């Protein structure tokens, strides 16, 4: 796990789940589905909003709280899934950053949103 703060969160999430006897519902497929559902709920908060409207909405505390809740729901399930599958989250993140550095070298990718396999110098 990433650090003591995340370790503390993991302990609290597992305790919350255990107290409710929900582990039986948390197989990798179901948790993965929950991640997608929560991420979709996050995306829904941005649906149909133009940049100008979104900028205005982001000044509202209740809107920001809704976003924070959906980010937290998504992250909580990610943390539980990584733990359940014995995936070291910090290591996985570090490995992915290293892979992305190779796939998206600065000289090819800087300022571009092109997928790595379509990048040209």
Domain with residue 61: its CATH number is 1.10.287.1080
Do the beta carbons of residue 79 and residue 9 sit within 8 Å? yes
- Split into its structural domains, the chain has a count of 2
Q: Are residues 33 and 75 in the same domain?
A: yes
**At residue 3, does pLDDT exceed 70?**
no
Q: Are residues 81 and 110 in the same domain?
A: no
Q: Are residues 105 and 118 in the same domain?
A: yes
Q: Are residues 70 and 83 in the same domain?
A: yes
Looking at every residue in the chain, the average pLDDT score rounds to 94
Integer Cα distance of 65 and 77 in angstroms: 18
Integer Cα distance of 76 and 84 in angstroms: 12
Q: Are residues 65 and 113 in the same domain?
A: no
Q: Are residues 105 and 68 in the same domain?
A: no
Burial of residue 82 (CB within 10 Å: 0-12, 13-18, 19+) is buried
Q: Are residues 44 and 102 in the same domain?
A: no
Angle at 24 between CA 23 and CA 25, to 5 degrees: 90
Dihedral sign (CA 61, 67, 73, 78): negative
- pLDDT by residue (tens digit) across 35-93? 999 999 999 999 999 999 999 999 999 999 999 999 999 999 999 999 999 999 989 99
**At residue 1, does pLDDT exceed 50?**
no
**At residue 99, does pLDDT exceed 50?**
yes
Q: Are residues 19 and 72 in the same domain?
A: yes
Q: Are residues 12 and 71 in the same domain?
A: yes
Q: Are residues 99 and 57 in the same domain?
A: no
6 confidence band (pLDDT: 50, 70, 90): confident
Quick check: pTM over 0.95? no
Q: What confidence score (pLDDT) does residue 120 get? A: 82
Q: Are residues 16 and 47 in the same domain?
A: yes
Domain that holds residue 48: 4-87
């Amino acid at each position: 796990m990433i650090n003591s703060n995340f370790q503390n969160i993991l302990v609290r999430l597992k305790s919350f789940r255990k107290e409710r006897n929900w582990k039986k519902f948390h197989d990798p497929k179901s948790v993965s589905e929950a991640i997608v559902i929560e991420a979709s709920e996050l995306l829904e908060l941005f649906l149909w909003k133009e940049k100008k409207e979104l900028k205005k909405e982001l000044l509202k505390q209740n809107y920001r709280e809704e976003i924070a809740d959906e980010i937290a729901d998504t992250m909580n399930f990610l943390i539980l899934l990584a733990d359940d599958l014995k995936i070291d989250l910090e290591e996985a993140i570090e490995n992915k950053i290293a892979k992305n550095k190779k796939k998206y070298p600065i000289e090819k990718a800087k300022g571009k949103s092109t997928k790595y396999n379509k990048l040209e110098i």
